[in-house]
Amino acid sequence: MTKRRFPWHIVVFMAPAFLVYTAVMIFPLFNTLRLALFTEIEQTRVFVGLQNFQTLFFDPIWSEQFWNALANNFWFFIIHMLVQNPIGIALAAMLSHPRLRFAALYRSAIFIPTILSFVIVGFAWKLILSPIWGIAPSMLDAIGLKSLFAPWLGREGSALTTLSLISVWQFVGIPMMLIYASLISIPEEILEASEVDGITGMSAFWKIKLPLILPSIGIISILTFVGNFNAFDLIYVAQGALAGPDFSTDILGTFMYRTFFGFQLQLGDPHMGSAIAGAMFAIILVGVCIYLFGIQTRLRRYQF
Amino acid sequence: MYKARSNLLNTAAMHGALILYMIIALFPVFVILINSFKTRRAIFSEPLALPNAETFSWIGYETVAQQGDFFLYFQNSMIVTVGSLFFILLFGAMAAYALSEYRFRGNLLLGLYMALGIMIPIRIGTVAILEMMVATGLVNSLWALILVYTAQGLPLAVFILSEFMHQVSKDLKDAGRIDGLSEYTIFFRLVLPLVRPALATVAVFNMIPIWNDLWFPLILTPSEEVKTLTLGSQVFIGQYVTNWNAVLAALSMAILPVLILYIIFSRQLIRGITSGAVK
Amino acid sequence: MIKKTFALALVGTALGATAAYGQDATLTIESWRNDDLSLWQEQIIPAFEAEHPGISVVFAPTAPTEYNAALNSKLEAGSAGDLITCRPFDASLALYDAGHLAGLDDIEAMSNFSDVAKSAWQTDDGSVTFCVPMASVIHGFIYNADAFAELGLEVPTTEDEFFAVLDAIKEDGSYIPMAMGTNDQWEAATMGYNNIGPNYWNGEEGRLALIAGEQSLTDEAWVAPYATLARWGEYLGDGFEAQTYPDSQNIFTLGRAAIYPAGSWEIAGFNSLADFEMGAFKPPVRSAGDTCYISDHTDIGIGMNAATDNPEAARTFLAWVASPEFASIFGNALPGFFPLSDAPVTLEDPLAQEFIGWRAECESTIRSTYQILSRGTPNLENETWGASVAAIRGTATPEELGAQLQEGLESWYEPQQ
């Protein structure tokens, strides 16, 4: 650092990503999002300010759907946080056990659902849970629990939870892999030191490893949040764009898609669709900011 | 003595739990695969039975094979996936390095800007993207897909990679600088090898949605020569489809290549994670 | 490094070999009928190309669920095909209004179609037609004739007979009386409400009165079909709430159900899947001697992308689609899609003959929600899906459903206010 010159290398490092990302993603997105401030009257686009948002939040026809989708989306997210991430962490903890045999086999097998497309996942689970095919009923019958079976995907009360669990099934590999990667990168010395202190097994996990992988858990939580509030495909594949029965599985993604692109006789409305997308963006942005400024900075302290 | 037994019990319990979960994970795939080899009647009467001499049938695969050039589709999917991953990892790592290594004005803002993309589904930009591809003549070319997927994958890649780049030891880089290495050499020779596990993770996470995406191939590359495998198999899974042999066969054919790729790739991935681990 | 260069070269060649077009005009057809792919490739397109050397045609279907979204995006951006398969009514009208579909009145062969046939693809004042009508679909019930013979059942003509037949099948227990599910929702409205409904609202009379604002959805004629649908629930087999459309098709064609509330578009598929005799009966009338009404719904047309590079070739193709020759090829290749052309077409499929025979016995109408009434928000067609499902599952009374639909319609449709 003899004298300050313009840091060209930073520009070189940043430029390719910045350019591709700006041109192919940010520009089209904002080109679309600005439509939220317009509406179309007689084939001409008219600027209406925030009126679309007012319609979305306060006109009962729209707001009912919006709040319903938002509430469903939160439930979808809560199930992922409560089921997917703990299972992922538990699996990773078992897999990272130093002397476990067949760990590679387990790890590969459990990750397989994550590589399947939504089309396959939706189709397979609909088959399995279908009262017609009888796979789930006959399996429950085999363990004497046939009376527990119900057409879960077809009932308002259970459809969303069932779909959330299917989604958990599909994506549990992601927290598992991330946590696994950070568990095995914990320095050996730390574990040895704690072993000398007599901390082993479960208590080593809770007292030593867990605090060390907290940053990874933070990343996973925020990725889950973002992923869930952008989710769309599974519900679309399994329940269609109307997210039946009676909109009980409607989440923001399906609501936005239906409005933006239209569906059957319903014509696409890019203006209201963009308003919904704008609302989704705001929700996710708030979540990410809470993470970045509230949680992540605190987690950093534990880093080694 | 007591300790050894409790260890044994522990191990057995772990194996039990992992095997149970493995069954849950694989069961649906298994159901699709076995039924794709059965006659239509057998699919319905005994969905869980393995195909036997009486119920075995290739009919689904024959139907699918008549409908399109699945080898070509597979090749297209490979080119798109590998091409996009290459650019995501290269550009993503470079940008993540710039953001995590150097203090400069606007660093935080730039980081936030790069993260915006994970908060809005890129689908809603479809019309603008398509207009751009039409204007540049990239419609119906695999470059259109590679560009979109690269742009779509970058925010997450930058986000994850900069987390990991923070952890690379400062001393190492400073040693490099004292030895007179350029910033580029430091990045490519010293830093990149150390974040291999993160690169592998990013690669796996991006590979899946790219391979499985239906929307952009449908819009950007619908013509026969550039169809991807996912789009090719979708022909069988429309609203009016009753031919379950063909549906199951198409699904199986869509599963198998990824499965094989993953099995090959997962060794590399795990080796990457373990050998490059920041210890 | 060598490896990388090689890989890049590979990518380069694959990317380069994409945009090769023939020297003559090539027309691409956008369609949602992916089921008909082989039919177009093997019968329709060769017949056209044989007569018109120099024009080649590519049929490029999209899955029906993605069709509207994908097509609209492509039209916006200017990358859509030359010929556009048209959904009926507002979806296509919106495309015309936005300048994406060209007017076709100057094609001479358009005179082969009646005004009714063209009404699904015209501006509201009827001055411009923008798609060539291709086919309509007729609603009714397809039944397993072997099962009916085995149980000694007669085809029902009145509603009482219909439910008596269902009771008899249910009592016997060897067949599921009726194959329909509510998971995908649309069947309940399309094969349920709009199948039996015309007998209640007297077809066109009621439909037009509703559009004019003279009747309302809370009237008996519009509520009573929901009461009838509510009685369907107990005959639909276990777990019908989660039964999907392909499930229903499979249950019926595997011979496990006796009756299938149908649209005629099922005929071709069912012929290839079912190994028993099938028959069809029209929606039963409310009491013996009533005039019968059927839903003979203009379902599919084809128009020209206004931005096409080959307008001449596209018009040639459309004129051919409007010809009696096409009607005959299409009607016989796709039994169940009935040509709308005035030229008489002889259909060979017995089941298709049965359906089309009803045109002579009954008054025809189209689905009540399609014209004009699904223009606003909330969308009446989508609402009808939900309402029909609720009726069948018994989660709301017919009166509640009628009131709820009326409220939605009133909120934006002036004649109903």
Q: Does C233 map to a domain?
A: yes
Does C158 lie in the same domain as C285? yes
Query: Which of chain C's residues have a Cβ under 8 Å away from the Cβ of B41?
Result: 254
Mutate to test the interface with C, among A56, A264, A272, A276 (most CBs of C within 10 A): A264
Across the interface, of C18, C20, C250, the residue whose CB is closest to B44 is C250
Does C143 lie in the same domain as C122? no
More confident residue, C317 or B39: C317
Place of tokens 């590589």: A115
Q: Does C72 map to a domain?
A: yes
Does C308 lie in the same domain as C242? no
pLDDT at C219: 96
Q: Which of C176, C171, C157, C172 is nearest to C258 (CA)?
A: C176
Number of domains within chain C: 2
Q: Does C9 map to a domain?
A: no
Domain end marker among C346, C379, C408: C346
- Is there a contact between A37 and A49 (Cβ–Cβ < 8 Å)? yes
C interface residues, B as partner, C-beta within 8 Å: 7, 10-11, 14-15, 17-20, 32-35, 37-38, 60-66, 70, 73-74, 76-79, 245-246, 249-250, 253-254, 265, 269, 273
pLDDT confidence tier of residue B237, bands split at 50, 70 and 90: low
More confident residue, B91 or B169: B91
What whole-number distance in Å separates Cα of residue C135 and Cα of residue A71? Answer: 43
Does C122 lie in the same domain as C212? no
Does C383 lie in the same domain as C341? no
Poorest-pLDDT segment among A186-195, B176-185, C18-27, C389-398: C18-27
pLDDT confidence tier of residue B273, bands split at 50, 70 and 90: low
Q: pLDDT tens across C129-152, in order? A: 999 999 999 999 999 999 999 999
Q: From the CA of A2, how many Å to the nearest CA of chain B?
A: 13
Ordered by start, the domain boundaries in chain B are 68-235
What CATH number is given to the structural domain containing A225? 1.10.3720.10
Q: What average pLDDT is seen over chain A? A: 87
Tens digits of pLDDT across chain A (304 residues): 445 677 888 899 999 999 999 999 999 998 888 889 999 887 788 899 899 999 999 998 899 999 999 999 999 999 999 999 999 999 999 998 877 888 888 988 898 898 888 888 988 898 889 887 778 888 888 888 878 888 888 888 899 999 999 999 999 988 998 888 788 878 888 888 888 888 877 788 888 888 888 888 988 898 899 889 988 889 988 888 888 788 999 999 999 989 988 887 888 888 999 999 999 989 988 998 888 788 777 765 444 4
Which subunits have 3 or more CB–CB pairs within 8 Å of chain B? Answer: A, C
User: What is the Rg, in whole angstroms, of the alpha carbon atoms belonging to chain A?
Assistant: 24
C6, pLDDT greater than 50: no
Taking CA atoms, C226 is separated from A275, B218, C31, C402, in Å, by 35, 39, 33, 9
Q: Does A10 map to a domain?
A: no
CB contact under 8 A, A245 and C382: no
Paired residues of C142 in beta bridges: C260, C280
Does C318 lie in the same domain as C206? no
Core vs surface per residue A31-47: b (16+ CB within 10 A) or e:
bbbebbbbbeeeeeeee
Q: At B73, list the tokens.
A: 């589709």
Number of domains within chain A: 1
pLDDT (mean) for B116-122: 81
Segments forming the whole domain that contains residue A59: 52-111+163-300
Judge: domain B68-235, CATH 3.80.10.10. Answer: no
Taking CA atoms, C256 is separated from B247, C62, C144, C250, in Å, by 21, 31, 9, 9
What whole-number distance in Å separates Cα of residue C338 and Cα of residue C297? Answer: 10
Q: Does C33 map to a domain?
A: yes
Q: Does C58 map to a domain?
A: yes
Does C132 lie in the same domain as C237? no
Taking CA atoms, C398 is separated from A51, A245, C219, C221, C237, in Å, by 36, 18, 11, 11, 22
pLDDT at B2: 55
Q: pLDDT tens across A108-144, in order? A: 889 889 888 888 898 889 888 988 777 888 888 888 8
Does C197 lie in the same domain as C321? no
Segments forming the whole domain that contains residue C341: 22-136+298-346
What CATH number is given to the structural domain containing C253? 3.40.190.10
Q: Does C375 map to a domain?
A: yes
Q: Does A46 map to a domain?
A: no
CB contact under 8 A, C17 and B218: no
More confident residue, C236 or C62: C236
Q: Does C204 map to a domain?
A: yes
Q: Does C12 map to a domain?
A: no
Residue C346: phi and psi, rounded to 5, are: -90, 120
What whole-number distance in Å separates Cα of residue C226 and Cα of residue C402? Answer: 9
B224, pLDDT greater than 60: yes
B101, pLDDT greater than 90: no
- Is there a contact between B210 and B151 (Cβ–Cβ < 8 Å)? no
Does C169 lie in the same domain as C282? yes
Q: What is the ipTM of this complex?
A: 0.84
pLDDT at A194: 84
Q: Name the pTM for this structure.
A: 0.87
